[in-house]
Amino acid sequence: MHKQNKSLSKGLAVLRLIASSQKPLNASYMCRVLDIDKSTMSRLIATLMQEHFITYTQNSKEIILSDFTKNFTVKETREKIIEQTQNLLDEIYYLTNEAAYIGVLDNDALLILNQIDKSNRVLKTRNSIGLHLPLHTNAFGKIILSFANIDLKTLELKKYTNRTFTSVNKLQKELDLIAERGYATGNEEHEYGLKSLAVPYFGTNNQFLGALGISGLAIRLDEETLHNFGQKIYQTINI
């Protein structure tokens, strides 16, 4: 292997290690883990910083990904999620005849990544791709609150309808129920006339990635229908 390729491989190994860590890393630690000498590590870090892939945390020598790299990584991950869930959304749509969605966490809010709705109904849910919604007001957000590490006390539980959860204790009881049965329902908590249903979506190594489910008019999605769909979608996702 050429010297240049070896340097590239080592640089990528450093970048992967930083990206996979849940906390900032220092050079000494990375030298030990990757078996790279201090002078080589110093050159690699300097190059990665010069190219704006990594940066030091404020007033320290601990290293994290730069905002540029974080944004690139997030974009790549989301594109993969969209690709991987396309067929699942089709299945969910044909199973329920309701608009199917994949949603992820984005800055303490729900972000709708993709939507499938092939119906010819006059009254249809709007195109919601790219829409951000409060986590506590819909089934997708509740799934994220149930399976992601989020402190409920940090959320602003704003009231949107008289069915919105505005109490941390009541919301926590709802999340406990969701974790037990494997799916969440939304009952006109963000907007009157709309209900939702969602299940968790996991990637490799059982990593929680987001929520899959449906949203539709309340007149079509009574409580029995929602729970029936919830069980069927959960089984479909976990085959």
Tokens describing residue 110: 């729900």
The Cα–Cα gap between 221 and 184 comes to 14
CA quadruple 42, 48, 50, 53: dihedral sign: negative
Higher pLDDT among residues 7 and 212, named by residue: 212
**pLDDT given for residue 1 in this prediction:** 47
Q: What is the mean pLDDT of residues 73-98?
A: 89
Alpha-carbon dihedral angle through residues 99, 104, 105, 110, given to the nearest 10 degrees: -10
Rounded CA separation 101/127 (Å): 10
Query: Average pLDDT, whole number, for the chain?
Result: 89
Report the share of the chain in percent with pLDDT over 70.
94
Residue 28: pLDDT over 80? yes
The 10s digit of each residue's pLDDT in 183-231 is 999 999 999 999 999 999 998 778 889 999 999 999 999 999 999 999 9
Instruction: pLDDT band for 123, please (50, 70, 90 cuts).
Output: low
Angle at 16 between CA 67 and CA 65, to 5 degrees: 15
Tokens read off for 72: 């690139």
Q: What is the mean pLDDT of residues 101-108?
A: 91
**What structural domains and CATH numbers belong to the chain?**
3-65 (1.10.10.10), 74-237 (3.30.450.40)
Rounded CA separation 183/140 (Å): 9
How many angstroms separate the CA atoms of 227 and 162, rounded? 22
Residue of 53, 21, 27 lying closest to 40 (CA atoms) = 27
pLDDT of residue 65 exceeding 90: no
